[in-house]
Amino acid sequence: MSTAQLLVGPLGPFEPDEDTHVVVREDGRWLVSERSTKAALRLSDANPCGTVAAFAAPSGHFATELGVEPGRAELFSDGLLIAGIAPGEWLALTPGTGAALAATLGGLAGGEEVVLVDRSGGLAVFRLTGASAGELLAELCDDVRSARSLADGAVLSSAVAGLRCTVVRDDLLPEELLAGFDLGGFGVLDLDELDATGGPPGEGPVDAEYEAPLVASYLLVCDRSLARELHTRVLTAGGPDGIEAEGFARYRSYHRDV
């Protein structure tokens, strides 16, 4: 396999490693690790994505069209995740390319001045998943006081393990519920499709808040070159909890209709 023209995340894998038996595969144009784990607490590579930062007037047309409040994140049907970082500032992550996403977002401007900066590759994205992920995050981040501090879909800018991060709670459906559903998105679950094909019993958008058996999951976004440090620090802190690292996995998630 030629790896010359493939995109590589901040953690690699840089090439197949015979010593560690890390299997490498191509996912789109990205070179990703096949490393997987069944650990209850895991730190996954979520880097293969496009990221765009958007800036506009906090209460202008673009903000209204986007409909994402500061401190909240929304998932859209095509896997696009938009996080409200601050009034007038958003960060969008997409399974596609940043350029395409910037063009899409630019279409929402409606004549208003909107600044879009393609930051694809400039940010590192990890996913911390597991029932005890909240506790670990609370240990690493002063602003997360307990596992319940951040609701699903909440966005927080703070320091995680001493490194500046944007944290997005983005809960997952348990994997067993996803067997046979290849949605191909960055992490979106089409509940209608699940229902139509015999998905999770009793599941539905209404009142999913209390019934959906979700697994706590957090996206951690930091500057690319700090990724290794963040990765190491989270793994070190989570060692007593049995945390394990894994490669890129297309988890499915959705934000409940809060």
Partner 1 sequence: MSDSLIGAGFGPPPPPPPATGSGPAPSTGAADASTADASTASTSTVGGAPGAPAAVVAPPLATRHSLGTAVRAGGERLDRRAAEVIDRSQIIEAMVDGQVLRGYAGDTAASLLGAHGRRTFFGSLHEQRPGGVRTADRFDQEAWVWVEGIGLTPAAAHLVRDGERLSAHQRRATTPSAVTPMARFHLAGRSRISRLAARGPVAPPWLAALRRSGTGAEQAEGLHSRVDVVVVGGGMAGLCAARAAADEGASVVLVEADDWLGGRLRWSGHFDEQQRLADIAVAVAGHPSITVMTSTIACETRPDGTVLTVERREGAEQVAVLRAGAVVLATGTSDRRLPFGGDHLPGVMTPSGVRRLVELWAVRPGEQALLCSDQRGYLANKFLAVQLNAIGVDVLDVLVLADGAGHLEAGGPLALEQVHLPSGRRYSVDLLVASFGAQLDPTLVNGLGGVVTRLPGTEQSVIGNLPANAAVVGDLAGATKVEETEVLAGAAGRRLARLVGESARRHRVAPPPAPVVVTGTEPSVLRPVSGLLDAALDLRVEVLDGFAASTAAATEHLVHTSRLGGLTPPARVVLADLARSAATSADLVDLVLAGGGPLGGPAAGALALLHRPAVRRSPMVDLHVGAGARFAPCDGWLEVLHYGDPDAELDALRNGVGVWDRSSGGWFAVRGPRAAAVVAEVAGRPVADDPLDEVRDPEPGGTRRVVRVGPDRWELFAALGHGASLEAELLAASLAVQPWEAVVAAQHEDSARVRIAGPSTVEVLETMGLTATPGRRERVRVGELDGWLLGHGVDDVELQVVAPAGRALWSAVLSAGDRLAARPVGAESFERSGRVTA
Interface residues with partner 1 (CB under 8 A) are 3-10, 12, 14, 29-30, 47, 53, 55-58, 69-72, 86-89, 113-115, 117-123, 135, 141-143, 145-146, 148-152, 154, 156-159, 162-164, 206-207, 209-210, 223-226, 228-229, 256-258
What angle separates helix 227-238 from helix 133-140, to the nearest 10 degrees? 120
34 vs 223, beta carbon nearer partner 1: 223
110 vs 197, beta carbon nearer partner 1: 110
37 vs 89, beta carbon nearer partner 1: 89
246 neighbors 217 (Cβ within 8 angstroms): no
Query: Shortest gap between Cβ of 176 and partner 1 (angstroms)?
Result: 23
11 neighbors 22 (Cβ within 8 angstroms): no
As a three-state string, the secondary structure of 113-162 is CCEEEECCCCEEEEEEECCCHHHHHHHHCCCCCCCCCCCCCEEEEEEECC
Task: Report how far residue 180's alpha carbon sits from residue 79's, in angstroms, rounded to the nearest whole number.
Answer: 18
Q: Give 6's Cβ-side CA count (13 Å radius).
A: 21
194 vs 216, beta carbon nearer partner 1: 216
180 vs 210, beta carbon nearer partner 1: 210
Residues in the chain: 258
183 vs 204, beta carbon nearer partner 1: 204
> What is the bridge-based pairing of β-strands 7-8 and 30-33?
parallel
80 vs 138, beta carbon nearer partner 1: 138
Query: Shortest gap between Cβ of 6 and partner 1 (angstroms)?
Result: 7
Query: Shortest gap between Cβ of 111 and partner 1 (angstroms)?
Result: 12
Give the number of other Cβ atoms within 10 Å of residue 222's Cβ.
23
Query: Shortest gap between Cβ of 179 and partner 1 (angstroms)?
Result: 27
Token code pair at residue 109: 């401007």
Query: Shortest gap between Cβ of 76 and partner 1 (angstroms)?
Result: 19
N-terminal to C-terminal alpha carbon distance within the chain: 45
Q: Per the omega criterion (within 30 degrees of 0), is the bond before 13 cis?
A: yes
Query: Shortest gap between Cβ of 135 and partner 1 (angstroms)?
Result: 7
Closest by Cα among 156, 171, 163 to 91: 156
Query: Shortest gap between Cβ of 38 and partner 1 (angstroms)?
Result: 25
